[in-house]
Amino acid sequence: MTLPFFYSPDQVIDDQFILDEANSKHVVAVLRMQSGDRLHLTDGKGQLLIAEIISPHKKNCGIRVIGKSTIAQKKARVSLAISPVKNNSRFEWFLEKATEIGVAEIIPLICHRTEKIHFRFDRMQQILISAMLQSQQVWLPKLYEPLSFRDVILQTSSSTKWIAHCMPESRKSLRLQGPAQNDQLLLIGPEGDFTPDEIQLAIQSGFVPVTLGDARLRTETAGMVGACLLCIS
């Protein structure tokens, strides 16, 4: 039987410790776990623990670590800079699926045509955590506060850089590039696409224009397709 997964952002050093109140409540009051039951715990930075409950209490559940390992992050890190959309639920869906697929960094990208949004960082971060736990992963994607198009273009350190746009210009097929072999950054624009000036600035900064296929995709769908093409071997 698969052990339930929990998240604790602090790296665990001691063999025995107390879960925070939120995790304690879920362990004891929701899952009704008892002394001797086991669970997985991760810090979202590669650490994976197997722990045993020693004092079930819904506010301060005590556990004992009985196994510890560190899982290395993929050498080829995939980052997506994607314009938020006005419909928050669609963007939240993208965050969830990108986490499950294995995207390392997600940058909300503010472009000229990005519609006015209310970005709730804490809620978005919690969606990433839930998706990481549901998919039983130990690396939590890094979520940035919204950044301007120019800042992302000029500050990235990724060795391979793509910009997906819909303009009728020469573009490579991202589908033919295969999964990432090094650190890569893909830019996904808003529903109205990037402006010609944004595309030109990206190309001048070393970004390679790509297409995701023949169909014109919604922003969150384009993000999903790009994540799949770069992350899944």
For the beta carbon of residue 64, count every other beta carbon within 10 angstroms.
14
Mean of pLDDT values over 7-35: 88
Identify which has the larger pLDDT, 180 or 79.
79
pLDDT of residue 215: 84
Task: Domains for the chain: give ranges and CATH numbers.
Answer: 5-70 (2.40.240.20), 78-231 (3.40.1280.10)
pLDDT of residue 228: 93
User: Per-residue confidence at 226, pLDDT binned at 50, 70, 90?
Assistant: very high
- The predicted model scores a pTM of 0.90
Secondary structure, 3-state, the chain: CCCCEEECCCCCCCCEEECCHHHHHHHHHHCCCCCCCEEEEECCECEEEEEEEEECCCCCCEEEEEEEEECCCCCCCEEEEECCCCCHHHHHHHHHHHHHHCCCEEEEEECCCCCCCCCCHHHHHHHHHHHHHHCCCCECCEECCCEEHHHHHHHCCCCEEEEECCCCCCCEEHHHCCCCCCCEEEEECCCCCCCHHHHHHHHHCCCEEEECCCCCCCHHHHHHHHHHHHHCC
User: Per-residue confidence at 166, pLDDT binned at 50, 70, 90?
Assistant: confident
pLDDT of residue 25: 94
The answer to whether residue 1 scores a pLDDT higher than 60 is no
Pairing of the two strands 16-18 and 38-42: unpaired
pLDDT of residue 159: 86
Q: What is the share, in percent, of the chain residues with pLDDT greater than 90?
A: 74
For residue 200, CA distances in Å to 85, 153, 204, 212 come to 23, 11, 6, 19
Mean of pLDDT values over 31-59: 93
pLDDT of residue 232: 84
pLDDT tens digits, one per residue of 189-220: 999 899 999 999 999 999 999 999 888 899 99
pLDDT of residue 233: 66
